[in-house]
A = this chain, B = another copy of it.
Amino acid sequence: MGDFVTLDHGSGGLASHRLINELFAKQLGDAAPDQIDDAAVLTVPAGRLAVSTDSFVVDPLIFPGGDIGSLAVHGTVNDVAMRGARPLWLTAGFVLEEGLPLDTLARIVESMGRAAGKAGVRIVAGDTKVVGRGQADGLFINTTGIGVINDGLDIGVDKARPGDALIISGTMGDHGATVMAARSGLGLDAPIKSDSAALNHMAQALVEACGNGLRLMTDPTRGGLATAVKEIAQASGVAVELEQAAIPVDPAVDGVCELLGLDPLYLANEGKMVVVVEQGLAEKALETLRGFALGSSAARIGSIVGNTPGRVWLNTAVGGRRVLEMLTGEPLPRIC
C-alpha cells in the first residue's frame, strides 16, 4: 500500500478502507475495531462504568521501554483501573501526518495490539484522520477506555482520611527521565527505560485484598508524584507528609535527573500507582503489590494527617522539611 501515509488514507474512501483492512485489522488481530458500522455495540451488566479519555503526543514516538502505541493503551487502561474498574474496552483515534512511514505506523499499531492483548482489553472502535505535512508531528493517538466497577466499591481521590497510609508501587520518574533523555540530544546512553505498563491486574488484586479499606488509587503521570499527592490533599481536604528517604528512585534515573536538572518527584510515571489505604491495611497492601513484578519496589512513603488541609510536606533525606506544590515553571511538553 505504498511506503508513506498520504492524504488519501484519510479521505474515507477506498484508500482509507485499505489502510484499515490491511494494517489495522491485521495488526490488531482480535482487537481490531469493527470499522464498517458507525459505532460498536457492547453488552454491559447493570451498574457503574468508569470512562476515561487521553490524547497521546509523546516525542519521540518510539523510546526505550515503549512507544506511543503501547503508551496509549497503558495510559488509558491505568486511568480506568485507578477507579477500581476492570477495563474491558478501548477506542483508538489516530491523527496521522502525511509522509509518516507506513513501517513506523505498522510497528506502533502492532505494539498497541500486543499491549491491549496483555492487558486483556479489546479495541472496539477506531478512527483515522490524515493532515498535511507540517500540520502534526508524525502521529497522535487518542484512546478512550471503558471499564466495569464492582458493586459497592467506593474509592476516589477525595477519600483520603487522617491516619491513612500512603504507598507507592515502585520507583519514581522512569518514564519522564527516559523521554527527556531520549530527546535531550546529549547522546545519553543511560541504562534507563520507561516504566510504561498496564496496572489493571495489580489494581484489581489490591481492590480484592483491601475492600473498602482502600481509599484511592491514582497514577502519577504528568506532573509526577508531587502533583498527584497535592491533588489528593486538595480533593480530600487533608495534609500529606512524605518521607523523601522512603521514595524509591532508580540510581540511573537520579543520575539523568541531575544531568538534565530535573526532579524525579515531578516527572511522569506510566506504570506506577499511588495508593492510600487505612493504616491497618498498609502491610497487606504492600504485600499485594510486591506479589507483582510491577510492584516489587512498592514502599510506604508517607501518611495522611489532619492539620493544614491541602498542604503536602516533604521530610527531606537530610532532615529538613519543605512544602511541595504542583508542577509549575519549566514545562516538560509531550512527555505522554
Say if the beta carbon of A184 comes within 8 Å of chain B: no
Partner of A38, one of B8, B14, B158, B218: B218
Q: Which residues of B contact A42 (CB under 8 A)?
A: 48-51
Copies in the complex: 2
Say if the beta carbon of A85 comes within 8 Å of chain B: yes
Say if the beta carbon of A129 comes within 8 Å of chain B: yes
Say if the beta carbon of A41 comes within 8 Å of chain B: yes
**A: contact size bracket:** 35 or more
Say if the beta carbon of A45 comes within 8 Å of chain B: yes
- The answer to whether B137 and A17 have CB atoms under 8 Å apart is no
Q: Which residues of B contact A53 (CB under 8 A)?
A: 91-93, 125-127, 142, 144
Q: 1/0 contact trace for A138-179 toward B, CB 8 Å?
A: 001010111101000000111000000000000000000000
Known: A48-B42, A53-B127. A83 touches B333 (CB 8 A): no
A window 280-336: CB within 8 A of B? 325-328, 331-334
User: What's the least CB distance linking A136 to chain B, in Å?
Assistant: 6
User: What's the least CB distance linking A86 to chain B, in Å?
Assistant: 12
Partner of A149, one of B41, B55, B327: B41
- Alpha-carbon distance between A298 and B127 when the two chains are bound, in angstroms: 28
Say if the beta carbon of A78 comes within 8 Å of chain B: yes
Say if the beta carbon of A82 comes within 8 Å of chain B: yes
- The answer to whether A223 and B12 have CB atoms under 8 Å apart is yes
Given contacts A41-B49, A93-B93, A132-B333, 7 further A-B contacts (CB under 8 A): A11-B331, A12-B223, A13-B222, A37-B83, A38-B219, A55-B128, A136-B136
**Pairs across A and B, CB under 8 Å, 10 listed:** A11-B327, A13-B326, A14-B327, A15-B331, A36-B157, A41-B50, A42-B49, A57-B95, A95-B140, A144-B144
Interfacial residues, chain A to chain B (CB-CB below 8 A):
6-8, 10-17, 36-57, 78-80, 82-83, 85, 89, 91-95, 124-132, 134-137, 140, 142, 144-147, 149, 156-158, 218-219, 221-223, 227, 231, 235, 266, 268, 325-328, 331-334
